[in-house]
Amino acid sequence: MAQHFSLAACDVVGFDLDHTLCRYNLPESARLIYNSFAQFLVKEKGYDKELLTVTPEDWDFCCKGLALDLEDGNFIKLADNGTVLRASHGTKMLAPEVLAEEYGRKEWKHFTPDSGMACRSGKYYFYDNYFDLPGALLCARVVDSLTKQNNGQKPFDFWKDIVAGIQHNYKMSAFKENCGIYFPEIKRDPGRYLHTCPESVKKWLRQLKNAGKILMLITSSHSDYCRLLCEYILGNDFEYLFDIVITNALKPGFFSHLPSQRPFRTLENDEEQEALPSLDKPGWYSQGNAVHLYELLKKMTGKPEPKVVYFGDSMHSDIFPACHYSNWETVLILEELRGDRDGKPEDSEPLEKKGKYENYPWTTNLQVSLQTIQKQQAIIQTLHWSYQMMGN
């Protein structure tokens, strides 16, 4: 990756949707996501009703970059060399002497220096985005409850119930069936949970399109939910803005999987249809892979190596895989920095959790100047390096 890049030199501009083009009202959406899981665990799986009550102080537990060890119920924060910086059992922080005894100065058992720590496994789960973070708090409180009930005995066997909660609330048909808690509530009152895009952002997108750029939307959200979000934040004519819309992209596999493993599918009434052997024309598709997409971009631009830039909010799903597997330029959207810029600390993480990049001139509403992008690129390169140490 070049140290600097120019947006004007890019032929294709792609965007993630959730927490990128679509900003959420984080306090409200976090509570909704938490409740969608907590009510399922209590009502369907018989967990303690105390899980339904959350205090404002409880939310301080949430922090990007936590890894949950599913065997012992510990949440850990790793250094770039794989050693454990701090840890908690459930929500209870481990004392320094306990931390030293349990982890010492050695690499965490699931960390591998060559390939890094994979972010999804049957033995641990890595939390790196705002959809996941409420689940971190819920799982920590579940560990607290089970520790109390079982007198601290290990291992913990609750993850299958969390997966069942995901399937119940967020399966592909949940939006259409109006099941679970999350989708019915978003449909009922989208303004409570979503921020509309400023007119300046819409104008910027139109300017990019009028300048001859190919615009793409690549999201792991399903097509019906994507449509609701886009109509609310961009307007009913949002499809005009994008040459290509890809939903249920199942990132990061969209970038890392072979075409045979993840073919594109057409959509009919938001239902996935037959698999496509290749991608021949722009339009709205489901699933897919970056290899077939890039072949289409070659045809659309008439260039053997069109230059692509992708905006996203997740190091795991967007930034690292788009750069590492597809050699795309990337721009990371950091919601945490918005509080400093706007003077609204309630929109950002607690002060003690802010990262070392907090003073950089980041913008989360996508009003990005070329000069700002160049400054951001140095940060992104650092984050790429750090992420390679954590997994792909």
**Alpha helices, DSSP H only, in 247-326?**
253-256, 290-301, 320-324
Least confident window among 65-69, 149-153, 308-312, 322-326: 149-153
Least confident window among 66-70, 85-89, 300-304, 362-366: 362-366
The pTM assigned to this predicted structure is 0.83
Q: Which pLDDT tens digit goes with each residue over 277-316?
A: 999 999 999 999 999 999 999 999 999 999 999 999 988 8
Cβ 228 vs Cβ 59: under 8 Å:
no
pLDDT at 154: 66
- From 291, 295, 215, 286, select the one nearest 249 (Cα to Cα): 286
Pairwise CA distance, residues 243 & 201, whole Å: 17
**Alpha helices, DSSP H only, in 84-153?**
96-103, 133-150
In the predicted model, is pLDDT for residue 123 greater than 80?
A: yes
Least confident window among 32-41, 50-59, 71-80, 366-375: 366-375
Burial, 214: exposed, middle or buried (Cβ in 10 Å; 0-12, 13-18, 19+)? buried
Q: Which two tokens stand for residue 117?
A: 């720590």
Phi-psi group of 76: left, alpha or beta (phi > 0 → left; psi -120 to 50 → alpha; rest → beta): beta
pLDDT at 155: 65
pLDDT at 306: 98
Q: Which residues are catalytic?
A: 16, 18
Pairwise CA distance, residues 194 & 28, whole Å: 9
Q: Locate the domains of the chain by residue range.
A: 7-22+197-337, 26-188
pLDDT at 345: 39
Q: Which pLDDT tens digit goes with each residue over 331-344?
A: 999 887 775 554 44
pLDDT at 20: 95
In the predicted model, is pLDDT for residue 216 greater than 60?
A: yes
pLDDT at 82: 86
Greater pLDDT, 276 or 72: 276
- Averaged over 250-255, what is the pLDDT? 95
What does the mean pLDDT of the chain come to? 85
- Averaged over 226-235, what is the pLDDT? 98
Phi-psi group of 49: left, alpha or beta (phi > 0 → left; psi -120 to 50 → alpha; rest → beta): alpha
pLDDT at 113: 62
pLDDT band at 267 (very low <50, low <70, confident <90, very high): very high
Pairwise CA distance, residues 226 & 214, whole Å: 19
Look at residue 20 and give its three-state secondary structure: coil
- Averaged over 246-268, what is the pLDDT? 96
- From 69, 70, 159, select the one nearest 84 (Cα to Cα): 69
Class in CATH terms, 7-22+197-337: alpha beta
Greater pLDDT, 370 or 96: 96
- From 35, 347, 29, 21, select the one nearest 186 (Cα to Cα): 29
Calculate what percentage of the chain has a pLDDT beyond 90: 69
pLDDT at 213: 97
Beta strands 92-93 and 84-89 are antiparallel
Look at residue 72 and give its three-state secondary structure: coil
